[in-house]
Amino acid sequence: MNCVIYRLETKKSFVRGRSFCPLCKHTLKWQDLIPVFSFLFLKGRCRYCKQKISVQYPLVELTTGLIFLFIFHHQCKAVLDSDLVLFFSRLPLSLLFGHICQLFLLWAIAFLMEIIFVFDLKYYLVADQIIYPALFLTLLFQLCRFLPNYQTHFLLSEAMPHMKDFCYALAVSAGLFFLLWAFSKGRYLGFGDVKIGFLMALLLGWPAILPALSFAFLTGAVLGLILIGLQKKTMKSEIPFGPFLITGTFVGLFFGEKIIQWYLNFFI
């Protein structure tokens, strides 16, 4: 992931070529590439030029491991909650295959979302080379979620509630961001944020999109005020919104239902 982030910005291929130190360009050996542990063993410095290694590398590696673990737990819980009886007796092969595909697709989507997070944070840009594959994989993920459940009895009328949910989510996220982008002519937010809004809607649906957006706007506003208070930014300064949207997406994915239920309990 760190390799993709670095080479995407320098316009180098991240498919071919050995990993190397971005400072001295020395080719790295396998013992230099163990996530987190290599950073600790090398005491945060390159083995060859002794220059400091960016803390981005262990932070991204550690965060990725935690997110992948959360996704694995989330998917296992979904299996047990929805197919508890079948799980301990006879889980249909199509459902089992669907859940496995969902797990790997979510891992791949999370991988791309983290790249979007870091790349936008560093370079104030949402790369099309990352966001479009993420959208495609999210569409595959939703197909894996719904098609195996209907099997040969899949009817358009049965899919309509889900399609309506995604339409609501798209109107709230991508639609809102598009209007802000068009009205401000790109001053309030970039078109990359519109694409992220589309990704959020497609991944989360309705109503999980609501806590995701609420978290993104709230944390973005709070951090912006803090930076202004510390005189690190001004009211006219540009702050990348993509990282807040990506964080909100993970919050909506893992905790969206609980947040909505917690909110509704105030009215019961």
Domain boundaries, the chain: 155-268
Tell me the percentage of the chain whose pLDDT exceeds 90. 35
Q: What are the structure tokens assigned to 196, written together?
A: 């992220």
Mean pLDDT within 5-33: 86
Backbone angles phi, psi at 27, to 5 degrees: -65, 135
pLDDT digits (tens, 9 = 90+) for 229-257: 877 777 667 788 899 999 999 999 988 88
Cα–Cα nearest to 74, from 254, 249, 256: 254
Write down the pLDDT at residue 106.
94
202: Cβ contacts below 8 Å, ≥ 6 apart:
135, 138, 139, 142, 166, 169, 170
pLDDT digits (tens, 9 = 90+) for 23-33: 898 998 889 88
- Rounded to whole angstroms, the Cα distance separating 199 from 182 reads 19
Residue 83 per-residue DSSP state: S
- Range ranked top by mean pLDDT from 156-160, 208-212, 258-262: 208-212
Confidence tier at 117 by pLDDT (50, 70, 90): very high
Strand partners, 27: 20
Mean pLDDT, the chain, rounded, equals 84
Mean pLDDT within 113-136: 93
Q: Assign residue 44 a region: left if phi > 0, alpha if psi is -120 to 50, beta otherwise? A: left
Cα–Cα nearest to 210, from 261, 139, 137: 261
Are 105 and 134 a contacting pair, CB within 8 Å?
no
Write down the pLDDT at residue 153.
45
Q: Is the pLDDT of residue 3 over 70?
A: yes
Residue 53 per-residue DSSP state: P
Q: What are the structure tokens assigned to 156, written together?
A: 């358009």
- Rounded to whole angstroms, the Cα distance separating 268 from 266 reads 6
Write down the pLDDT at residue 91.
55
Write down the pLDDT at residue 135.
95
Write down the pLDDT at residue 142.
86
Cα atoms found within 13 Å of the Cα of residue 262, Cβ hemisphere only: 7
Write down the pLDDT at residue 161.
58
End-to-end CA distance of the chain: 45
Helix (H, G, I), strand (E, B) or coil at 45: strand
Residue 120 CB-density burial (10 A; 0-12 exposed, 13-18 middle, 19+ buried): buried
Cα atoms found within 13 Å of the Cα of residue 156, Cβ hemisphere only: 0
